[in-house]
């Protein structure tokens, strides 16, 4: 079996379950406008599509609407102030991080979540001193599905792309990984629209639970001989 020497994760819906905080904030904002709460499962399905998708869902408006930007900013302010009320690592992934650290295997995050919110979340969960690289849209010219963020992350942890795994819960994650020549893992437990959707992305592996991902990663990963373990990312 081929062994790999590092792993990169998408953030929301892959490494950390952030949906509950988005659900709370979006429904709080709806309440301010006299609207009743939306069902949690409806919001969860669009979390990976970002704030714009959530505002469209919450208020049934398009980006061209004159109120769109104001409500998006209100939502993001609410989220920043409540960023880790319920957000947690998915089950089993604390074990994954501990195992990577114990075995000198670098890990990191490549996300389309802006750095302001990514850093705040990682600090709140005490992961900011443990992660070896964090690449956000602010750090690159092109975001996923372009491979640029993944190429940057692999360079920062000094591992060839074909020796580093990428895990994501959206089609753009798997596309970006393939374009970067990285082996990919589809996280079907994440914020996918349909339970069988992840299979269609044709990742190298597809896992249906985060505990299954933990087991798979410990099977696939091994330290890279002669490679110094990178320091934690500084932010």
Q: Please report whether residue 231 resides in a domain.
A: no
Helix, coil or strand: residue 168: strand
CATH assignment of the domain containing 111: 3.40.50.1000
Is there a single domain that holds both residue 112 and residue 63? Answer: no
Is there a single domain that holds both residue 52 and residue 114? Answer: no
| 85-121 confidence digits (pLDDT tens) | 999 999 999 999 999 999 999 999 999 999 999 999 9
Host H or E run for residue 180: none
Is there a single domain that holds both residue 102 and residue 205? Answer: yes
- Choosing from 81, 97, 121, the residue where a domain stops is 81
Is there a single domain that holds both residue 152 and residue 194? Answer: yes
Is there a single domain that holds both residue 72 and residue 177? Answer: no
Q: Please report whether residue 1 resides in a domain.
A: no
Q: Please report whether residue 58 resides in a domain.
A: yes
Task: Write the CB contacts of 30 (distance below 8 Å, at least 6 apart in sequence).
Answer: 36, 37, 38, 58, 59
Is there a single domain that holds both residue 77 and residue 124? Answer: no
- Name the pTM for this structure: 0.94
Q: Using pLDDT thresholds of 50, 70 and 90, give the confidence band for residue 229.
A: low
Is there a single domain that holds both residue 76 and residue 135? Answer: no
Q: Indicate which residues carry an active-site annotation.
A: 10, 12
For residue 121, give the nearest of 84, 88, 148, 94 by alpha carbon.
84
Is there a single domain that holds both residue 52 and residue 64? Answer: yes
Whether 138 has a pLDDT exceeding 90, the answer reads yes
In this structure, what are the phi and psi dihedrals at residue 83, rounded to the nearest 5 degrees? -75, -20
- Choosing from 60, 81, 102, the residue where a domain stops is 81
Q: Please report whether residue 131 resides in a domain.
A: yes
């Amino acid at each position: 079996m081929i062994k790999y020497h590092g792993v990169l994760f998408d953030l929301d819906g892959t490494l950390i379950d952030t949906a509950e905080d988005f659900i709370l904030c979006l429904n709080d904002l709806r309440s301010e406008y006299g609207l009743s709460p939306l069902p949690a499962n409806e919001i969860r399905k669009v979390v990976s599509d970002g704030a714009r998708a959530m505002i469209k869902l919450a208020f049934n408006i398009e980006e061209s609407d004159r109120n769109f930007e104001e409500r998006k900013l209100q939502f993001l302010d609410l989220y920043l102030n409540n960023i880790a009320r319920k957000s947690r690592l998915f089950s089993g992934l604390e074990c994954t991080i501990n195992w990577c650290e114990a075995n000198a295997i670098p890990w990191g995050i490549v996300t389309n979540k802006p750095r302001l919110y990514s850093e705040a979340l990682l600090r709140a969960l005490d992961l900011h001193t443990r992660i070896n690289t964090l690449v956000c849209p602010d750090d690159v010219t092109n975001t996923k599905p372009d491979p640029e963020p993944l190429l940057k992350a692999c360079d920062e942890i000094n591992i060839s792309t074909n020796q580093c795994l990428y895990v994501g819960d959206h089609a753009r994650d798997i596309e970006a990984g393939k374009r970067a020549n990285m082996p990919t893992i589809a996280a079907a437990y994440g914020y996918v629209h349909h339970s069988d959707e992840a299979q269609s992305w044709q990742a190298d592996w597809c896992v249906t639970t985060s505990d299954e991902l933990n087991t798979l990663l410990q099977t696939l990963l091994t330290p890279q001989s002669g490679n110094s373990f990178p320091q934690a990312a500084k932010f």
